[in-house]
Every structure is written in C-alpha cells, then in structure tokens.
Amino acid sequence: MLAKATISLVDSLRQRIANHGPISVYDYMQACLADPASGYYIARQPIGKSGDFITAPEISQIFGELLGLWAVNVWQSMGEPDNIVLAELGPGRGTLMADALRAIKSVPQLHKRISIALIETSPILREAQADALGNFDVGWFDAIEEVPDAPLILLANEFLDALPVRQYIRRSGGWHERCVGIDQGAFAYVESDQASGLDLPAELADDDDAIFETRPSVANLIAALAARTKPVAALFIDYGHERSGFGDTLQAVRGHGFADPLEAPGEADLSAHVDFADLARRARAAGLKSFGPMPQGEFLLKLGLEMRRDRLLQAANPEQRQTIVTGTDRLTDRRVMGELFKVLAITSSTLPPPPPFPEAN
C-alpha cells in the first residue's frame, strides 16, 4: 500500500483556499497552531532558549513556587477537601507544575492527597511534562471538560493567548469577518463581503476600519467551569488588556523575535491579546466570581516574591545571584512583564477572595 503523501501546511492551506475561498483568521490560526500533522504546538517544543519564546516559569522558579503556595491557600479556603485536583491548562514543559509541587511539599496533608491533571494537546510537550514531573501521579486530558468533577484548583499561564481569535473589521456600519486568502501568490488578509451580524458590548464605540477580536473557546471554558458541582478556583495569567477594545493584536513570534503572522504558517507561534474584561464578564454571567485583573508584578510582589527571592539569594553563588535577580526583575518590572501580563482569578460563588485579591468585582 502506498503511504499517504504528506503535504506541507503551506500547501494544504493554499489548496484549501483555492478550493473553498479565503478562510477566517480563526481557521488560519487554528490550522497553524493545531493542525494534527504540522501545527506549531503539535510538531515542536517551542519554549526556552533553543525555542521561539520564553515564559515566566522558565524565567524564575519563584513563579511556580508562589502559585503553589497560592494553591495551598485556596485549598484551605475550600475546607481542605481530600480529593483535590490541581490542574493546569497548557503546561508547556511542566516547569510551573514542578515548582508549584515543590512549594506544596511544605504542606504534606495536601501534597500526599493532590491529583495532578494536565490539559495538553501536544504529544511532544506531554513527554516533557512527564519528564519534569518524574513519578508524580499525573493524568493528561485533551480538554477541561474531561477532568473529574472534584474540588478543582486550575492554573493557566500563557494558555488563553494561544487559543484562536476571530477578527472583524468595521466597514460602513457593519462588521465583516477578516479572512486569509491569496494575493499575488502570497497569503494576504481579505474581508468577507457579508456583514457578520456581530453584536458588540454597548459601551464600545465602533468607528470604520476598527478591528474587533473575539475568542470563541473562552465561552466553552467558562461554561465548563460553571458546570462543575464542586468548588473551583482558577488563575489565568496572560498578556492582554483590562478593557475590551479595538485593534489587531494577532502576533507571530519566531526565534525570540516578532514575525509576520502570514509568512511561515506552522513555524511561528501565533497568539493574540487576552480580553480580560470579556473573561470576567462571562464568568460573572455564568454565576462565578471574578477577581482582578491585577498586573503580574503587583500580584507576585503581594504573594511574597521578595521574601522568597531573598531566601534563594542567601544560598546562591554570584552567578546564581545574578540569574535570580534578573529573573525576578523581568517578571515584576513594568517595562518588561510586570504590567502587560495580568492575573485574573475566577472562583465558585461560595469561595472567599483568593490571595492577594481584596474582593470580587
């Protein structure tokens, strides 16, 4: 039997567009990131110095450790349930979870009871996670809906930004979906002729040429959290905006630099800003509580980053000291990740505010 010929993602996208016309930005992003044969997250290990980008847990171990201590506090506020699940959406190389579990070790009653659930689509990253977590009892899932209905603490760092967005562009009073077609042999943005019927939140103005982005899977994610019958507390950390607004935020990152999102499908990381206001609004509409968003720098400092840093510094040699200080500065400084990255917590209505949030909004 002949092996099925494999065609490149570029060729399959070209064929698809030639056969059926332009595809939405959503379908383009979905194919680039998650195409089963050659999607960006399916086919490679993108995180770290040798990859395309670096994330907070890879910059400093303190990031995951503080989230571990956050989980301890939330578990206590749930009444210290026996069958607690600590889950992570898009755990990358597993570094955050490994650091969190090390911090949780200081509370043996929790450490010995906790079940770990990792929601990850990439087979390559699942392997890296298994390596990072050693012989810890870990379950892998394709979607949050599959995670058993027990009390749940959920962490998600730079997960939402990787979920595909739809883009709409305002043209003489209507919103038209932005698509990817072919122009002079190259991928190019085009617009759907038909108005989409998009209904925008009332407080948003809408000028011609404005671009508005929606992220359809956020609704499913919130619905899945709201459908759980046991308490849930989730922490979303990502880059994005506090208020819903206009603008094209689709970006490509390759080899630690920005690239053109249409240039090399499947070979660059594609992401778009998270609309935290939309996330919070949907959570509240589903009967959950939302907290924040709070800038990442403020969040980490309030959770005790400096104390933890100083303790690590005491035991460090000069080279390690440099790495620790540069890393924590990068996470908290507003000129780097301290302000662009934000933290939003979502909990069941029965839970008190998780630290360090003063109250629900």
Q: Which stretch binds ligand SAH (CB under 6 A): 76-84, 119-127, 203-211, 313-321?
A: 119-127
Other CB atoms within 10 A of residue 112 CB: 8
Interaxial angle between packed helices 123-132 and 95-104, expressed in degrees from 0 to 180 and rounded to the nearest 10: 30
**CB of residue 127 vs ligand SAH: minimum separation in angstroms?**
12
**CB of residue 123 vs ligand SAH: minimum separation in angstroms?**
10
Please, are residues 125 and 102 in contact by the beta-carbon 8 Å criterion?
A: no
Task: Give the residue with the Cβ less far from ligand SAH, 55 or 296.
Answer: 55
Per-residue H/E/C for 108-133: HHHHCCCEEEEECCCHHHHHHHHHHC
Residue 62 interacts with ligand SAH (CB under 6 A): yes or no:
no
16's tokens: 């698809």
Q: Which of residues 28-57 bind ligand SAH (CB under 6 A)?
A: 41, 47, 55, 57
Q: Which stretch binds ligand SAH (CB under 6 A): 21-29, 116-124, 240-248, 260-268?
A: 116-124
Distance CA(110)–CA(117), nearest Å, equals: 15
Work out which of 162, 180, 331, 346 binds ligand SAH, going by CB under 6 A. Answer: 162
Residue 91 interacts with ligand SAH (CB under 6 A): yes or no:
yes
Task: Give the residue with the Cβ less far from ligand SAH, 58 or 275.
Answer: 58
Q: Which helix (H) or strand (E) holds 194?
A: strand 186-195
**CB of residue 90 vs ligand SAH: minimum separation in angstroms?**
2
Closest C-alpha among 208, 180, 193, 199 to residue 244: 199
Task: Give the residue with the Cβ less far from ligand SAH, 96 or 235.
Answer: 96
262's tokens: 């249409």
**CB of residue 140 vs ligand SAH: minimum separation in angstroms?**
10
Work out which of 52, 65, 120, 213 binds ligand SAH, going by CB under 6 A. Answer: 120
Measure the CA angle with vertex 9, ends 180 and 3; round to 5°.
Answer: 145
Q: Which of residues 132-161 bind ligand SAH (CB under 6 A)?
A: 157-159
Closest C-alpha among 291, 301, 288, 280 to residue 358: 291
Please, are residues 18 and 182 in contact by the beta-carbon 8 Å criterion?
A: yes
Residue 271 interacts with ligand SAH (CB under 6 A): yes or no:
no
Binding site for ligand SAH (CB under 6 A): 41, 47, 55, 57-58, 90-92, 96, 119-122, 125, 157-159, 162
